[in-house]
Structure 1
Amino acid sequence: MSRWIVSTSLLASLVVHSAQAEEQNGCHSQPLEDAPVEKAYHYLNSKFCQPALWFDSFFVDDRITEDARAGTSVRWYNDFIYSEGGDVDYSTKLNARLHLPFASKRLKLIYESVSDEEFFDFFPQDSEELESALGLRYDAYAKGYSSFNIKATLRPRIEARYRFTYPLTTDAVFRLTQRVYQEKQETGEITDIDFDLSLSDDFLARWSNFAGYNDDLKGWEYGTGLTLYHYLSQDQALQYSATIAATSEPYNHYEYSQVSITYRENVWKEWLFYELIPRYQWEREPHEKHTEEANITLRLEVLFNNV
């Protein structure tokens, strides 16, 4: 099973790469039409011609959506997961950001499928942990290299997030994101640090790191990951990733790691996407041996921006 997944992913990568016929732009950093644009990131992109904005827009990364100031966005995706051993699982997730009429453009009504695991966005997690949360987000500040917003949901949860993005060179960008949150009786913080390196017009490398503490766990969770983005055309891209997450409780040990390839394509309509994600993953519970599994995910996604 694992050999078949690896062979399939490599073959798909070669096929889509050889099928490129569209003339490439000198800089792929220009955002997709109607894609949400984070102002500080757009400033860096337009000045230094970084491809990160294009990739984050195309893959609908949180680095874009968390700072999007304009319009309305609705994202609904459905995952069909075939695992080693023949098991088939299904999960669905809905995220929406709605501009409130007669209110400040800084204020958004949000609906999110969230996880009890604070690092859900950094690593894939079991869909059974998902819960829905309705709330409000206020974009208090977004200028130059910095942005700040506050989010409150009916979970109940309140979170403040600050982000600082700075160009180290014309090809390298540093990003710091700090979150502080209160959920029921739990208080915690999460720090994310990213380094983006533009290798060429078609390739972007990203090194992502996080560390988080909450008084419920009374310990640290931390992780690191490498991602390589590959531009194929305006409608196609590849993402190669390897990540590992660990915890300090009850002792320092890794909890989850994975290697994967994501092929994403916009098909038929501008709002319809699909992804193929072959993945090999390892998990470990305290005082137990690790388990490993190969799986492949088919994702069907509907994405509306500025509706």
Structure 2
Amino acid sequence: MLATIPRHFLWRWALVPALCLMVLLVATKSSRADEGAAEAPTAESELPQEPGFFDVWGKKIEATHESIERYILEKSVKVDDFFGSENAPGEKPTRYQLRWRNSLRIEHDGTVKFGPSVRLNLALSKINDRFRLIIAGEDEPEPATQSLPRDPGSPGFDRTTPNTHFVNTELRYDLVRTPALKFFLGAGVQVKLPFEAFARSRLDYLHTFNDTTIVRFGETVFVKNSDLLGETTEITLEKLLDRGTILRWSNAGTASQEIRGLEWGSELSLIRELSARSAVTVTGGAYGNTSSSTIGNNYRLFALYRQNFLRSWLFYELEPELFWHRTDRNPDAPTFAFTFRLEIVFKGSSLGRPAL
């Protein structure tokens, strides 16, 4: 039977367990090292030892990461100083956070796809503490099915349908910022030809029913290229089952002049915190459009394991998923895919930093 399967199919699928095993072994080694560090030192440990290969390279990687963080902070401070006031009230610092993700996706037919994504959040406190500059770029493997919008009203993030391979910038101004209510105005442009400008307003409201149950409501109104109006409504209900376990029901619907009907999606997730550094999420979702004769056009079942390992700024994710499409007549056969992600976080603040 194996002789009938293409060779490229076999080695690509063999890559999945190999990657998983390698990452888990590294994470286990890191966990054991942390436990060993907490134990009382022995006589042998007091003897000087030559640094190993991984120790040397670990220090080099750490130094490189710190150097990149300082470089990004210097550029961020220069931008804030150039547009801001020298006598900004409150002496609030310039802050930033950058997330760089790399995804490796293996499809059911053995196809391997790779792509990065970057998201920078820059607080321009010297201009105004309520201003934020968001720069996002994504070239991740195109998802095979729908998912809930990650950032409604922002091109590339605003639809339940797959919409990837973009770079956009946005300037936000927070009008209201409280623990229960947030409201901001934003405007930006998607960097592509022809350019796509957009503006939006977003309202987020959090209501607490009791100590274990909350509901989140989000409303986004957006306009693209001055003539394409739209809005997205989001409702999320969360229930704390026990310490470290959350049941979440998320729903979203988008109506716009550029799409027919109402695009909607609904996901039910069980989130479990395994430790201070790891968590797992199991999610089932249904997605569709009111213009279709079927209730749901696409279905998705996936699990996401996220682990912080080796360094506080380094994460990996394992995501197996099963999805299928339903037509007016018969549903398609379920399709499987597996995604491995590596995420590096850079962040910095000018608070306590020496002047340039």
**TM-score, structure 2 normalization:** 0.62
Q: Report the counterpart of residue 292 of structure 1 in structure 2.
A: 334
Deviations 1:224-265 (A, max 9, x none): 111111111111111111111110225444332211111111
Aligned equivalents of 2:286, 2:233: Cα separation in 1? 16
Structure 2 residue 188 is matched with structure 1 residue 153: yes
In structure 2, the partner of 1:34 is none
Residue identity in the other structure for 2:222: Y
Query: What CA distance in whole angstroms lies between the structure 1 residues aligned with 2:292 and 2:247?
Result: 34
Query: In the alignment, residue 210 of structure 2 is paired with which amino acid?
Result: T
- Number of the residue aligned with 2:207: 166
Corresponding residue to 2:245 among 203, 220, 229: 203
**1:140–1:170 CA distance, 2 compared to 1 (3 A):** same
Structure 1 residues 138, 292: closer, same or farther in 2, change over 3 A? same
Matched residue type, 1:201: R
Q: CA deviation at 1:152?
A: 1.0
The verdict on how the C-alpha distance between 1:149 and 1:101 changes in structure 2, with shifts beyond 3 A counting, is: closer
The CA distance in 1 between the partners of 2:254 and 2:160, in whole Å, is 17
The residue aligned with 1:129 is: 164
Q: Is the 8 A contact 1:114 1:133 kept in 2?
A: no
Structure of larger gyration radius? 2
1:106-145 pair list within 5 angstroms: 106-113=130-137, 119-121=148-150, 126=162, 129-145=164-180
Instruction: Choose which of 225, 230, 233 in structure 1 pairs with 2:267.
Output: 225
Mapped partners of 1:172, 1:260: distance in 2? 24
The correspondence for 1:266, drawn from 282, 288, 308, is 308
Tell me the equivalent position of 1:49: none
> CA deviation digits over 1:105-162, x for unaligned, max 9?
2101111237999944299865x73311012111111124111011211131111100
What residue number does 1:183 align with? 224
Aligned to 1:78: 102
After TM superposition, the structure 1 stretch with the greater mean CA deviation from structure 2, 244-253 or 156-165, is: 244-253
Equivalent residues of 1:172, 1:198 under 8 A apart: yes
Q: Runs of 5+ in structure 2 lacking a partner?
A: 1-8, 36-92, 152-158, 191-196, 350-356
2:263 is aligned with 1:239 = no
Identity score, percent: 22
Cα pair 1:284 1:291 within 8 Å, conserved:
no
Q: What amino acid sits opposite 1:213 in the alignment? A: A
Relative to structure 1, the CA distance from residue 131 to residue 284 in structure 2 (aligned partners, 3 Å threshold; closer, same or farther) is: farther
Aligned to 1:215: 257
Amino acid paired to 2:102: N
Distance of 1:305 and 1:205 partners within structure 2:
30
May I ask how many residue pairs the two structures share in their alignment?
251
Please, which runs of 5 or more residues in structure 1 have no aligned partner? Answer: 24-68
**TM-score normalised per structure 1:** 0.72
Classify 1:244/1:178 alpha carbon distance in 2 versus 1 (closer, same or farther; 3 Å): same
* Aligned partner of residue 95 in structure 2, secondary structure: coil
Specify the code of the residue in structure 1 equivalent to 2:181: S
- Whole-Å Cα distance in 2 between the matches of residues 141 and 134 of structure 1? 22
Q: What amino acid is the match of 1:197?
A: K
Question: How far apart, in 2, do the equivalents of 1:286 and 1:161 lie?
Answer: 35
User: Per the alignment, do residues 120 and 209 of structure 1 end up closer, same or farther by CA in structure 2, a change over 3 Å counting?
Assistant: closer
Closer, same or farther in 2 for the Cα pair 1:151/1:286, shift >3 Å? farther
Alpha-carbon separation, structure 1, partners of 2:103 and 2:138: 15
Is the contact between residue 70 and residue 105 of structure 1 (CA under 8 Å) also seen in structure 2?
no
Structure 2 Cα separation of the partners of residues 91 and 125 of structure 1 = 18
Label 1:233 to 1:289 Cα distance change in 2 as closer, same or farther (>3 A): closer
Distance 1:254 1:248 in 2: 9
Residue 53 of structure 1 corresponds to which residue in structure 2? none
In structure 2, how many angstroms separate the alpha carbons of the residues matched to 1:209 and 1:215?
21
